[in-house]
Amino acid sequence: MQGTPFERRALHDISLDINDGTFLALIGHTGSGKSTLIQHLNGLLKPSSGSIKMGSTVLEAGGKKQDLKPLRKKAGIVFQYPEHQLFEETVEKDIMFGPRNFGVSEEKAKKTAAKVIEMVGLPQTVLEKSPFDLSGGQMRRVAIAGVLAMNPEVLILDEPTAGLDPSGRVEIMELFYNLHKSKSLTTILVTHSMEDASRYADEIAVMHKGELYLHGKPADIFNQREALQQAGLDVPETVQFLMRWNERSGQNLSLSNFTIEELAKQVSQSLKKRGS
Amino acid sequence: MLQNVIIGQYYPASSPLHRMDSRSKLIAAFFYLFIVFLANNWVTYGLLIAFTAVTITLSKVPMRFLYKGLKPILILVVFTLFLHVFLTKEGDLLYKAGFLEIYEGGIIQGVFIAMRLLLLVLMTSLLTLTTTPIDITDGLEHLLGPLKKWKLPVHEFALMMSISLRFIPTLLQETEKIMKAQMARGADFTSGPIKERARAFVPLLVPLFVSSFKRAEELALAMEARGYRGGEGRTRLRALEWHKRDSFALILLLLLTVLLFVLRS
Amino acid sequence: MKNIITVKDVTFYYPGEETPTLKGVTLDVHKGEWLSIVGHNGSGKSTLAKMLNGLLLPNEGTVYVSEYATARPEDIWEVRRQVGMVFQNPDNQFVGTSVQDDIAFGLENFGVPRKEMIKRISESVERVGMEAFLNQEPHQLSGGQKQRVAIAGILAQKPSVIVLDEATSMLDPIGRLEVIETVRELNRKEGITVISITHDLEEALSADRVVVMKMGEKAAEGIPEVIFQQRELLKSAGLDLPFSLKLSEALRQEGVELDKGYLTQEALVNALWKLA
């Protein structure tokens, strides 16, 4: 869109290294550029300047047209409301769509379908059904299975829990977290939720107005509450509570992780110390 | 990107033509379709060209935009021109080379017909360039209103049109989204033989149909919740206002017609 | 307190279904209150919402809005004028080609004269803070803005009740806040009754009353302070627990002797401080 009235710079001067096996949470408000950024990662969008390197593949601005399939196979994207992409007559065929596009044989793709359907917590019997006869939550799982079937090394998740109820949200996030661990994936989670980021991520990147605003380990990010608030975000509730407690008690407790259990442990221990 | 596609070819501006009532513009354009056929000599064609030129100037639509609208049919115009030049054998023979003969009548006939086509397209483009699709819909609904007496679903038709207009950008956005999702799964919409490419669109079209049905269902429910019960007893926010300039424009067109009748041979 | 909506012994079957979606539901909605209805997917809460303005009619029992019965054909239009409904998907309820056309849609249906219509549109668009967007087209608006337009469309009909049927579930946090703040203001300042079908915890917490639906029946009804003490009930309703309540529980497991679960961080810090 360069040179037209519709040109709008969505991203500006972003440099970000993501190490193998990292769980990165990409946080920011709508329009902050986070969805645009992840679409660059598998060549759905191309940079106007700069380059993207994934493994051995390099995407360069102005570079010549190249076959993007290896890149797309390596980096699987689960889009927002992924159930909207289902189209086949049966769940099995739909899951096979990705592998077949990447040249996997029919037989092998079938085996993969049977494997990934269990990974997403659905029974084998679902494979023969039409995806459109399933419930909303099941459809989302099938769509996720369709991405997993490509056996990606990098899993990019664009608000994968949008529109789900709280228990559904937890189930889906646990699913991804377990996959991340068991298959040693590199995972990039686009989210609005600081809670999810604090629970699952090794690293957090905050996007604001098309720029990379903050990047670091969760503990470092949560130390900069003011900066977060300026970007319309806040620290997770466990940190909020800890700050309240420290302020009231004059203590200086810190957390080794950001779960409620850890917070309860720290607070109860400090109470016991005072009591004794 | 798809979402930036401008619907129809409306050119936003404030010109006397833009300010005209869509009804008078519709009537005028329709009327013009007929009177173009009255012209049959240089004087009458000259008159039509002058009238069209003045209208274009009044519309404040840049030639660039008009040309864009004309481009697809330009080939047709040129083709008609040559067809007549080579096939009409009237008047003096001007040129002969082998079996190729060009007569004076052929050239005149060719130019006239091509001109006629050009004028027709120019005027109808002006209608869509200076009137928003929704105004055209409103105008049509009013003009066709009397047909309701014969049980023609004029209101329903207009509502259908306006809802389609409303949802075109939404569907374009959705198309882009689904395309990207399938491309991320290795789908290829741009290369390969035609037959395979047609098949490649199934993963795009099926989800689009499914979601459109869902949208239609939800929209119907929302409309019902907001008290929709057909055209009966409905009032309208969009009011069409017939001004003096509208009557004036139509009178001018009538005058042109009379002149054409008088001056044609 | 005066009732604005009275639901009495309502049972409802979707055509062709053997088990009822609503089973003998009785519910009074008080004038001017904010009532949140929570429950699992399939608990019947959305079906109940559609009973309130006669989009669905009960097989047994009655629904009254003031003195108007949804089952009486001559009353139905008055019922729909009084009870406005905001649906889940912002796109699929936007009928008009522009903001003002959309707000006008309901008024046109009710045969409001054009002059009055223009007055009411400018009035209601101001109450939702969208006056700068009158001529904008829907695809230029964010989800939260579209929902505010939907609310303006309802306000123009001079309603007594606004029903939010998961109206914020597809929005990002900013959009959610926008919509909730708008409705809260209408509820507090103008006394418009709000019935909100929701999964959103914060929203349910700040309601005047909460109704929990379960398997088509009303499982509980009361003020949030009481309802939110019932952990198991909330979990079975697919609702998350408030952070402070979860932390209270975790603290108790660590041996801290809290007398009850607290709903806000502030209350919990205070209670802990007293223990120290």
Q: Tell me how close the Cα of C189 comes to any Cα of chain A, in angstroms.
A: 27
Spans of chain B, pLDDT less than 70: 1-8
CB-closest option in B4, B202, B210 to A132: B210
More confident residue, C130 or C276: C130
Q: Specify the pLDDT at position C219.
A: 93
Question: Measured between CB atoms, which of A30, A163, A268 is closest to C255?
Answer: A268
Probe site for chain C from A30, A138, A159 (most C CB atoms < 10 A): A30
Structure tokens at C160: 């007594």
What is the predicted pLDDT for the residue at C268?
93
Angle at B90 between CA B84 and CA B91, to 5 degrees: 125
pLDDT of residue C26: 97
Looking at residue B1, its pLDDT comes to: 38
Nearest CA among C101, C160, C87 for reference residue C136? C101
B100: contact with C, CB 8 A cutoff: no
Specify the higher pLDDT residue, A275 or C29. C29
Cα dihedral value A17, A19, A22, A27, nearest 10? 0
Q: What is the pLDDT of residues A247-256, one digit of tens each?
A: 988 888 888 8
C115 — contact with chain B (CB < 8 Å)? Answer: no
Task: List residues bridging with A53 in a β-sheet.
Answer: A58
A 150-189 residues with CB < 8 A to C:
162-163, 165-168
What contacts C39, CB < 8 A, 6 or more positions away? C45, C212, C213, C214, C219, C237, C238
Q: Which among C53, C97, C100 has the least Cβ separation from residue B225?
A: C53
| Record: contact C95-B169, CB cut-off 8 A | no
Structure tokens of A90?
């049966």
**pLDDT value for C58:** 96
pLDDT tens-digit profile of C113-149?
A: 999 999 999 999 999 999 999 999 998 899 999 999 9
Kindly tell me if the per-residue pLDDT of C202 is higher than 90: no
Structure tokens at C255: 């041996």
The amino acid occupying position A207 is M
pLDDT of residue C47 exceeding 90, the answer is yes
Q: Is the per-residue pLDDT at C43 higher than 80? A: yes
Q: Is C222 in a helix, a strand, or coil?
A: strand
pLDDT at C75: 95
Which band of pLDDT confidence, cut at 50, 70 and 90, is reported for residue A2? Answer: very low
How many angstroms separate the CA atoms of B51 and B36, rounded?
A: 11
Write down all domains in chain C, each with its CATH number in brackets: 3-238 (3.40.50.300), 242-276 (no CATH)
Q: Mutate which of B4, B162, B168, B237 to test chain C, going by most C C-beta atoms within 10 A?
A: B237
List the single residue in B with minimal CA-CA distance to A83.
B207
* pLDDT for res C242: 86
Task: Write the CA distances from A201 to A159, A176, A193, A196, A217, integer angstroms.
Answer: 14, 12, 11, 8, 8
pLDDT of res. A5: 37
Q: Does B3 touch chain C (CB under 8 A)?
A: yes
Residue B188 CA, chain-centre distance (Å), reads: 34
Distance in Å, alpha carbon of B94 to nearest chain A alpha carbon: 49
Best of C56, C79, C92 to substitute, by most chain B Cβ atoms within 10 angstroms, is C92
In the prediction, which pLDDT does A276 show?
57
Q: What is the pLDDT of residue B259?
A: 93
Please give the pLDDT value at position A190. 95
Chain A contact set for B210 (CB, 8 A): 86-87, 132
- Chain A CB contacts of C265 under 8 Å are 237, 240-241, 244
The position carrying tokens 């639906």 is C213
Mean pLDDT on C150-175:
94
Contacts of B3 in chain A (CB under 8 A): none
Is C104 close to B237, i.e. CB distance below 8 A? yes
| H or E stretch covering C12 | strand C3-12
Beta bridge partners of A54: A57
Per-residue model confidence (pLDDT) at position A31:
83
Instruction: List pLDDT tens digits, range A27-84.
Output: 998 888 898 899 988 888 888 888 888 777 888 877 777 778 888 889 999 999 999 9
Residue A275 has pLDDT above 70, yes or no: no
What is the pLDDT, as a whole number, of residue A4?
Answer: 41
User: Which chain A residues are Cβ-neighbours of C40 within 8 angstroms?
Assistant: 165
Q: Measured between beta carbons, which residues in chain B are less than 8 angstroms from residue C77?
A: 227, 229
How many Å apart are CA C139 and CA C273, to the nearest integer? 52
Binned at pLDDT 50, 70 and 90, residue A3 comes out as: very low
pLDDT digits (tens, 9 = 90+) for C263-274: 889 999 999 988
Token representation of residue B9? 């070819």
**Which of C142, C155, C265, C136 is closest to C205 using CA atoms?**
C265
Q: Which pLDDT score is estimated for C229?
A: 85
Tell me what pLDDT residue A6 has. Answer: 41
How far is Cα A217 from Cα A240, in angstroms, rounded to an integer?
17
Closest chain B C-alpha to A149 CA, distance in angstroms = 10
Chain B hits for C112, Cβ within 8 Å: 235
Enumerate the residues of chain A whose CB falls inside 8 A of the CB of residue C269.
Answer: 241, 244-245, 248
What pLDDT is attached to residue A1? 34
Rounded (5°) CA angle A129-A135-A138 = 75
**Shortest CA gap B195–chain C (Å):** 34
Contact of C231 with chain A, judged by CB distance below 8 Å, is answered with no
Residues of B in contact with C114 (CB under 8 A): 235-237, 239
CATH class of A23-232: alpha beta
Give the tens place of pLDDT for each residue, B133-142.
888 889 998 8
Q: What is the pLDDT of residue B108?
A: 86
Per DSSP, the residues of C96-107 read: SSSHHHHHHHHH
Rg of chain A over CA atoms, in angstroms?
Answer: 21
Residues of A in contact with B212 (CB under 8 A): none
Strand runs (DSSP E) across chain A, as ranges?
23-27, 51-54, 57-60, 75-78, 154-158, 186-191, 203-208, 211-216
Contact: C105, B238; criterion CB under 8 Å: no
As a whole number, mean pLDDT of residues A150-174 equals 91
Backbone angles phi, psi at B81, to 5 degrees: -55, -50
- Where do the domains of chain A lie? 23-232, 236-276
Query: Which of A130-139, A213-222, B86-95, B210-219 shows the lowest per-residue confidence on average (mean pLDDT)?
Result: B86-95
The residue extents of the domains of chain B are 10-131+241-263, 145-225
Which residue of B173, B174, B185 is the best one to mutate when testing the A interface, meaning the one whose CB has the most A CBs within 10 A?
B185
Cβ separation of C142 and A30 shorter than 8 Å?
Answer: yes
Chain-chain contact of A1 with B1 (C-beta, under 8 angstroms): yes
Q: Is the pLDDT of residue C196 over 60?
A: yes
**Measured between alpha carbons, how far is B168 from A240 in angstroms, rounded to an integer?**
45
Neighbours of C, requiring at least 3 CB pairs below 8 Å, are A, B
Instruction: Please list every residue in chain B whose beta carbon sits closer than 8 Å to the beta carbon of residue C94.
Output: 166
pTM for the full model?
0.87
